[in-house]
Chain A
Amino acid sequence: MPDAVVLKNLTKTFGETVAVRGLDLVVPQGALYGVIGPNGAGKTTTIRMILSILFPDSGELQVLGHRSALEAKDRIGYLPEERGLYKKMRVAEFLLYLARLKGMDGAGLPRQVDAWLDRVGLLGAARKRCEELSKGMQQKAQFIAAVIHRPDLLILDEPFSGLDPVNQRLLRDLVLEEHRRGATILFSTHIMVQAEQLCDHVVMIHRGEKVLDQPLSTIGSSFDPRSILFEPLDPAADVSVLHHLPGVRGVAREGSAWDVALSETAEAGEVLKAIVTTITPARIEVRRPTLEDVFVGIVAGTGAGAGSAALRQALRDEDAQEVGR
């Protein structure tokens, strides 16, 4: 079974700007991949190249076993980041039109459109013009357009942006349903919680380059911050004594709590016991990295365990680069 997407050394430039640089990526069939990265990292450009909307300057790609997505467009569903509908077209008409462009036909097509509209709670809007729909409704209509032809590969660019929590959950369930059906799913986001909730493999792109490509389950061990979060029961307790405990590299305040950094060789369980016996804790836990920690850590170039001040600075730097780009 060929992989759903294979990118080899893909590069794309716009004038002086290198949007994607030497990108390698393999998405196996049936996988649920999340592509994360800060704004302007090159996620959308990568997706557009996978879809043959843009063409790479160099490198090779393969989509569903073809050398170009143009040869497999009917097997691909796409929800772009920039949502677009024909304002004056009626919702059902719009979906019929896009379904036909995706190779669907036959007398049963209008019924399928109605069934999908019903599923996302838009059946009543079938005869409405697209411009009459709210932003969330438009997004749901577009999602239908992306999946109505039951694609083998579903690419979603920032699918949850602009949706309220109820609709976010509805969309997430629909995506998971498509995945269970057997579709390969590749979605991009810069909201880490969504990636953590949905995908089983994470690829991170930063400044056009891939900086992370691994299963979500292994990220915890790869990016262990090696620190303990500790909050004393008595806020006035002398925390400086913790500096002298074996295996402790340093102690730094973090709001009402303290971040206890561990040395390279320290065993987290032993240090935790030692802290508890030294000062009575109100709260104590061995830190586990969130995807956001990993993301910000890589952006900042400081690793997953960077302190909040360093992360804030990293984000400021990133924003400054965005503005200058």
Chain B
Amino acid sequence: MKKTLYVAAREFTATVMTKGFVFGVLVTPAIIAVVVYFMPRMMNRTPPKIEGRVAIVDATGRVARPFAEHLTPEAFAKAREDARRRIAERTEGVRRSVSGTPGASEAIEQSVEAALGELPQIELEVLPADADPEQAKSLLALAPRDRQPDPHQRIALVIVHPDAVEPHGQGRYGSYDLFVRAKLDDRLVDHLHDGLRDAIVAARLHAAGMDPSRAEGLTEVRRPTSRTVTAAGEAATNEVLNILLPAAFMGLLLVSVITSGQYLLTSTVEEKSTRVVEVLLSAISARELMTGKIIGQMAVGLVVLGLYAGLGILALFSFAALGVLDPMLITFLLVFFVLAYFSYAAMMAAIGASVSEMREAQSLMTPVMLFIMIPWILWMPISRDPNSLMAIALSYIPPVSNFVILLRLTSSSPPPMWQAWLAVAVGAAGVYVLLWFAGKVFRVGLLMFGKPPTLGTLIRWARMS
């Protein structure tokens, strides 16, 4: 056991003391933190002002006027107010969490203002109903002078169909066409669509003898924010966290497992290619060597996991949202880390021992990576419907089970506890089989050189030893 621990200690220090590890694992999160900190401040810069003319060819003669009302500065201000209110409703939980942080609410307001940008200055230009559309469109293609906003430049053309207000023939209404200048701000395009829709609907209601403001009152129902009721009381449902939490947990698991597994593969291939493995095997058995390496790299994985999880907890703490973390989930994260890591590490050790250089490992790695990526691919459907037949079935197929069950446990409707424990048992059985297989391949493969083996060769080695 002492020798195994010596191997583990060397494996750990040889990995974490490298520039690659320090840069990849420590510097990358630091860069992310810096970007996250500075991004809102960088976004605080005023977006370019939008100015210009929107031309309309209105064959019905009844759309241009209500549409003009949507292009006034007041209409833009009202639309902005509506957007601000929607954002406020969606971010209620975050605002409440940061209420104790000085300047945080102001920072959010600033970010919202920045995202909405300065009010556009748009002038509506009503063209004759018989205007030539092609000629009208040609003005859109003119390049802007000096790249400066030009209040007289045509930026969009609307052609309202003759039957947009009164149905033609079989009771079907027509619509409109919108042509815009290249690279026009997408928020303005959305605003034009909304305005045209409202203007056409208002014109249709008028034509049908109805009062548009009454129709608006009858059809508007304010969407409230749902509130989650728990034993501790009720609170606004944090939809963002509901989606992010499972992804964060699975991400943590995948990053730590894959990182340490890759290091294990690399170090095994290095020991084999530099032939140092024969010296090691004269001092310790192949089983001791493999166990030591796996334990050493597990410690590396735990460092990665601890580091990223620590950053996450710190972020939750600073937003006073630590309550979303159930201690049981952290326990399960550790349990499934161990199971997922041992499964992955066993495969990496077997592959590392059977090839002579990293290039040769690629073909054997493909099926393993596919297995690991399945939970990522199925993240959305599983977290949306964590109790579907597919989610339940994948919870009992190791090594995928370790990721899937954690995803389900962190979802909005977690499975019953017995399913989690059953997945632990299945995961442990999977680990046993994989370690047994890896141990056999490791012993034979370490001293085999020559053409890279196939999966069939590995199975033959396992039966041979």
- Which of B155-163, B273-281, B366-374 interfaces with chain A? B273-281
* Closest A residue, CB atoms, query B273: A84
Closest residue of B by beta carbon distance from A78: B282
The residues of B that contact A51 with a CB separation of less than 8 Å are: 281-282
Residue in chain A with minimal CB distance to B5: A100
Cβ distance A234 to chain B, nearest Cβ, rounded Å: 58
With A48-B447, A53-B447, A54-B447 as contacts: A84 and B284 at CB distance below 8 Å: no
A83→B285 CA distance, assembly (Å): 19
A88 and B267 alpha carbons, distance in the complex (Å): 12
Contact residues, A100-136 vs B (CB, 8 A): 100-103
Which residues of B6-35 are within 8 A (CB) of A?
6-7, 10, 14, 18
In whole angstroms, what is the CA distance A126 to B279 when docked? Answer: 19
Rounded to whole angstroms, the CA-CA distance of A80 and B279 in the bound complex is 7
A83 cross-chain contacts in B, Cβ below 8 A: 275
Contact B282–A84 (Cβ < 8 Å): no
| Inter-chain contacts of B271 with A (CB < 8 A) | 84, 86
Report the interface size for chain A: residues with CB under 8 A from the other chain. 29
- Considering only CB atoms, which chain B residue lies closest to A101 in the complex? B283
Cα distance A103–B278 in the bound complex, in angstroms: 17
CB-defined contacts of A73 to chain B, threshold 8 Å: 282-285
Q: Is the CB of A84 within 8 A of B6?
A: no
Question: In the complex the two chains form, is A101's CB within 8 Å of B3's CB?
Answer: yes
Q: Does A145 contact B (CB under 8 A)?
A: yes
B278–A86 CB distance below 8 A: no
Which residue in B3, B277, B279 is a CB contact (below 8 Å) of A145?
Answer: B279
Interface centre among B3, B18, B276 (most CB of A within 10 A): B276
- Contact partner of B274 (CB less than 8 A), chosen from A52, A78, A87, A101, is A87
Q: How far is the CA of A103 from the CA of B288 in the complex (A)?
A: 14
Query: How close is A232's CB to chain B, nearest CB, in angstroms?
Result: 54
Task: Give B280's nearest chain A residue, CB to CB.
Answer: A101
| Chain A, Cβ-Cβ closest to B449 | A82
User: In this assembly, does A11 line the interface, its C-beta being within 8 Å of a C-beta of chain B?
Assistant: no
Check A82/B278 contact, CB under 8 A, given A53-B447, A54-B447, A101-B3.
yes
Q: Scoring B residues 239 to 270 as 1 if CB is less than 8 Å from chain A, else 0, what string do you get?
A: 00000000000000000000000000000001
Question: CA of A100 to CA of B282 in the docked complex: distance in angstroms?
Answer: 13
Determine how close the nearest CB of chain A comes to the CB of B351; give it in whole angstroms: 20
Give Cα distance in the complex from A77 to B280, angstroms. 11
Indicate with 1 or 0, residue by residue over B344-365, a CB within 8 angstroms of chain A CB atoms: 0000000000000000000000
Residues of A close to B281: CB separation below 8 A: 51, 53
- Check B279–A142 contact: CB distance below 8 A: yes
Are A70 and B285 in touch, CB under 8 angstroms?
yes
Contact A84–B14 (Cβ < 8 Å): no
Which residues of A are at the interface with B, using a C-beta cutoff of 8 A?
A: 48, 51-55, 70, 73-74, 76-78, 80, 82-89, 97-98, 100-103, 142, 145
- Provide a sorted-by-A list of 15 A–B residue pairs whose CB atoms are within 8 angstroms: A52-B285, A54-B447, A70-B285, A73-B282, A74-B283, A77-B282, A82-B275, A86-B271, A86-B276, A87-B270, A98-B279, A98-B283, A101-B3, A103-B3, A142-B279
